[in-house]
Structure 1
Amino acid sequence: MSRIGKKPISLPAGVEIKLDGQNVTVKGPRGVLNQSFPPGISIVQEEGQVLVQRASDAKQDRAYHGLSRALLANMVTGVSSGFEKKLEMVGVGYRASMQGKKLVLSIGFSHPVEIDPPEGIEFEVPAVTKITVKGIDKQLVGNTAAVIRKIREPEPYKGKGIKYENEVIRRKAGKAGGR
């Protein structure tokens, strides 16, 4: 039995789960998320808890058991408290700003880079060199943060670029002096 899959998911106050066959809708104070689960997985709701069970010990069902439980737990967390990823910009003259809902980055290109937020994502710029990506869908938040980071990935010599807040950039030694 999957150690993750057999853990029950507790429902916080204000979160409702609607089961419709293999489709699950989770509704909470921050929004609504929908997910379709594979046929070998069943979801059961009992007194403030949700259990994810598998139909058999087939390899495919075992593989989906922990995954389905993790996806459902992320949906519950997303609609109750949400997710966020923090990015930092390192480099002289690198800065971020907001134009309405758009994120505008000045990162050493000849033009500012403008990023429109996807549906369900919002950007915040708490400081000139810090960006926060917020949303209720964990996968979308992480993907959007990765897209922003990819615009100017940190380089190993000076560490300039856009990096995650706690990311450690492995540095390389530069050229040795010419004597």
Structure 2
Amino acid sequence: MSRIGNKSILVPSGVTVTISDANIVTVKGPKGTLEQQFNEVLDIKLEDNQIVVKRPDNEIFTRKIHGTTRALLQNMITGVTEGFKKQLEIRGVGYRAQLQGKKLVLQLGFSHNVEVEIPANINVEVPKNTDIIISGIDKAAVGQFAAEIRAFKKPEPYKGKGIRYVDEFVFRKAGKTAK
């Protein structure tokens, strides 16, 4: 029994949802449009401003994708109404970030600057040279881009230098002790 999959999704006013026969769902809202194709095994219906996801049987595969499909639909609706945001912070002497057009330039202690091309559906802000705010309507794209930026210099446990999420806790280790 899927607790998440059985919940209906309320469609807010100002959002239009169209569902085709091949389970291609298009969600249009004030922030933009998202489209995704879901598995045809599931039955996705729009009834009285609510999206209901039902599964035809209790096969293992359909049970697996039932809750996932419902969560993805909820994320699409949240994305076109509110959007998603990830905040990164850079720690380290001389480490900084800046925007140059559609590129994010990072100085992370390497002999060269790291230049990252910003995807079309993502907005990046650099309010301070040590803070990066990534926002967009697609939750997966925002999270993936934030993870790619973080992967350039992950926070290390001894001095805590690197790129980390704002709410991330980095476990600090003690260094070597002198005799």
**For residues 75 and 117 of structure 1, what CA distance do their matches in structure 2 show?**
21
Runs (4 or more) in structure 1 with deviation over 4 Å come to: none
| 1:14 equivalent in structure 2 | 14
Instruction: Answer whether contact 1:23 1:35 (CA < 8 A) is retained.
Output: yes
**For residues 40 and 62 of structure 1, what CA distance do their matches in structure 2 show?**
11
| 2:135 equivalent in structure 1 | 134
For 1:137-156, list aligned pairs within 5 A: 137-156=138-157
**For residues 107 and 59 of structure 1, what CA distance do their matches in structure 2 show?**
46
| 1:58 equivalent in structure 2 | 59
Residue 45 (1) aligns with residue 46 (2): yes
Residue 157 (1) aligns with residue 133 (2): no
TM-score normalized by the length of structure 1: 0.96
Q: How many Å apart are 1:101 and its aligned residue? A: 2.3
**For residues 55 and 38 of structure 1, what CA distance do their matches in structure 2 show?**
12
**For residues 58 and 135 of structure 1, what CA distance do their matches in structure 2 show?**
35
Matched letter for residue 60 of structure 1: F
**For residues 93 and 47 of structure 2, what CA distance do their matches in structure 1 show?**
55
For 1:81-160, list aligned pairs within 5 A: 81-160=82-161
Q: How many Å apart are 1:97 and its aligned residue? A: 0.8
**For residues 125 and 9 of structure 2, what CA distance do their matches in structure 1 show?**
30
Instruction: Answer whether contact 1:83 1:137 (CA < 8 A) is retained.
Output: yes
Please state whether the residue corresponding to 1:126 is helix, strand or coil.
coil
RMSD of aligned alpha carbons: 0.9
Please state whether the residue corresponding to 2:88 is helix, strand or coil.
strand
Structure 2: 5+ residue stretches without partners:
none
**For residues 40 and 60 of structure 1, what CA distance do their matches in structure 2 show?**
10
Please state whether the residue corresponding to 2:140 is helix, strand or coil.
helix
Instruction: Answer whether contact 1:40 1:56 (CA < 8 A) is retained.
Output: no
Matched letter for residue 80 of structure 2: V
Residue 80 (1) aligns with residue 81 (2): yes
Instruction: Answer whether contact 1:101 1:122 (CA < 8 A) is retained.
Output: no
Q: How many Å apart are 1:60 and its aligned residue? A: 0.8
Please state whether the residue corresponding to 2:52 is helix, strand or coil.
strand
**For residues 80 and 176 of structure 2, what CA distance do their matches in structure 1 show?**
51
**For residues 47 and 4 of structure 2, what CA distance do their matches in structure 1 show?**
18
Please state whether the residue corresponding to 2:126 is helix, strand or coil.
strand
Matched letter for residue 8 of structure 1: S
| 2:4 equivalent in structure 1 | 4
TM-score normalized by the length of structure 2: 0.96
Give CA deviations for 1:83-129 in whole Å, capped at 9, x if unaligned. Answer: 01100001011111111121111111112111111120111011110
Q: How many Å apart are 1:50 and its aligned residue? A: 0.8
